[in-house]
Amino acid sequence: MRYAVLFNPIAGRGRAVQVAGSVGARLQVLGHESFERRSEHAGHIRELAAQVAEEVDRVLVLGGDGSLREAAAGLLELDASARPALGVLPFGTGNVVARELGLPLDPVAAIDVIAAAGAVDWDVGLARADGGAEEVFLAMAGFGFDAGISARIDAARGSRLGARWYRWSASSLYGWCGMRELLRLAPPRFEVSVEDDLVASRAVSAVVSNTRTYGKSMWLSPGARPDDGRLDVHVRERANPLVGAAVLALAQLQRPISRSLAVDAPGGRARVGSLTGGPPVAWQLDGDRMDAAREIKLELAAGALRVIGNVEA
């Protein structure tokens, strides 16, 4: 089998170069051919995925969920019959898709599992904000509180202290930013609809899930699967910090979340919109922060990709 390994050479403070070499060497030991392609600018992984598709059976992304999202977008530009299987070698912080597939979180260790695994059908989320270009996501789209954490993380990493903190312990920085967002006074509100039915008129947080995994082994929508042809929309309207903390605690324990705390609504289409006179909605896709928008429409391309690994029942 022939593989392409795509990666950002500055990821992991340059460690990605060495890891990619180890991945290639391991694939050779296992009897496979492979070659590497390095991204050179933002969005380049998307271009590379489309470019190498004709040359390989499988495209592997050494990176996090954001890089994997880029590669997926590139493959979706091709006819369905021309798309090779997509795989992830986890090298990010959340590694949501890798966790959903049950992969080892060490990229070299993951190679043995990937080389022995088949590929599964994977639904792809599609999001369009204010009538603009279509964006894809493989795991989740987050709005309000969820996107606020991403914004705080980005702001922290832009400072010298925050960058050092992130390198030392990304998990604790996420926890700190999450706590600060929970304690935010008067968080912005927005409305959420699923299949044209209004689910929440004054939401403070919403996560549209394609996978049950959210963050590091957290489950907000335990019934979500990437191969069931639907999105699972988790919505919270109560801004009380204790309610938010309870939701996150239950998600961390992978326990069902009571409807008194938040609502789960499955469907094929969803809409998130700002309130009249209110601010645009903050949102993110697979951990990538997007520009705030007045209206975001979401739908699903069922089974649009083949992803290497196994989705547990």
Number of H helices, E strands in the chain: 9, 18
DSSP string, 170-217: HHHHHHHHHHHHHT-SS---EEEEETTEEEEEEESEEEEESSSEETTT
Q: CA dist 123 to 140, 154, 248, 304, Å? A: 11, 28, 26, 6
**Which domains can be identified in the chain, with CATH numbers?**
2-117 (3.40.50.10330), 127-304 (2.60.200.40)
Q: What is the per-residue pLDDT for 195? A: 95
Concatenated DSSP letters of 65-119: HHHHHHHHHHHHTS-GGGPPEEEEEE-SSS-HHHHHTT--SSHHHHHHHHHH--E
Summarize pLDDT for 182-236 with one digit per residue, the tens: 777 678 999 999 999 999 999 999 999 999 988 777 888 989 999 999 999 999 9
pLDDT, one tens digit per residue, over 117-163 is 999 999 999 999 999 999 999 999 999 988 888 777 777 777 888 77
Tokens of 25: 């060497």
**40-79 confidence digits (pLDDT tens):** 998 999 999 999 999 999 999 999 999 999 999 999 999 9
